[in-house]
Amino acid sequence: MEKRILAAMLAALFLVASAGIAEESKELTVFTAASLTGAFGEIGQMYKNETNIPVAFNFDGSQALRTQLENGAYADIFVSANKKQMNAVEESGLMNNSSVTVFTKNKLSLIVPRENPAKISNLSDLAKPGVKIVMGTKDVPVGDYALQIISKLGNDSAYGPDYKAKVLANVISQETTVNYVVTKVALGEADVGFAYISDVTEDLASKVDKVDIPDKYNIIAEYPMGIMLDSKYPAESQKFMNLVMSDSGKAVLERYGFAPVESNTAKSEGTATVPAAKAAA
């Protein structure tokens, strides 16, 4: 009898220990648009501090993340820099569609090296012969947004009928993430690039400057996130999303130059203007 009791106690202790190990081994995998690298890095640490669950981020272009997911890559949460890529993943049957929500907004600006050798001061300068422009590919959100802006300008008689063709002729490189665009400009490999206002962070302020794009030509970028249908940790994933949308999460996003949304359940493209980034961004 004593041996049976001892065996039962050992088995119970083993189960408790196993449960503890399983709990400790939890880790969220979050596929995240590259433009959120700084902000989500901080929010991920906040989440770990609160839950003791680490977050493994895969930062890349939204279109690259979508391709990885469609080819079987595992993630608990997908965070996109536009609705186009999120919609595609939803339509593939990979998302818990009811969890998808727009949580922040962004917009574009021109960025130039601090020395600004090409003397870029306005949008008209993009069409000057010899200007070296870098932007995202047409499939990455920041590149898609840039093309929309260039088309808007090309349709404005103030810029002339050849404006769009001249600007596109000056594009020397199309990158797969906005981070690569920023890096090339910061290194002086390009005269100007299309990036998000949130990309001019404190550590880059000494290397690049912004040239604002007026709201009438700019594009409002809406960022959606949602839980993957095959997530092993849907409850923990929802807690992470709740943190992103909490006051503390919003404060981090705002510090990086992102703008709030009127409703976290909004699913349509917005038209409201995005306020200028704070000096810290």
Model confidence band, residue 275 (pLDDT cutoffs 50, 70, 90) = very low
| CATH number of the domain located at residue range(s) 2-104+223-255 in this protein | 3.40.190.10
Q: What is the dihedral of CA 280, 209, 166, 176, to 10 degrees?
A: -60
pTM listed for this prediction: 0.80
Dist CA 186 CA 138 (whole Å): 22
Other beta carbons less than 10 A from residue 123's beta carbon: 21
Q: Do the domains at 2-104+223-255 and 106-212 have one common CATH topology?
A: yes
Which range, of 19-33, 96-110, 179-193, averages the lowest pLDDT? 19-33
What's the mean pLDDT in 224-240?
98
Dist CA 129 CA 126 (whole Å): 8
β-partners of residue 221 are 106
| Strand segments (E) across 46-170 | 55-60, 77-79, 101-113, 133-136
- Domain borders along the chain are 2-104+223-255, 106-212
Dist CA 272 CA 105 (whole Å): 10
| CATH number of the domain located at residue range(s) 106-212 in this protein | 3.40.190.10
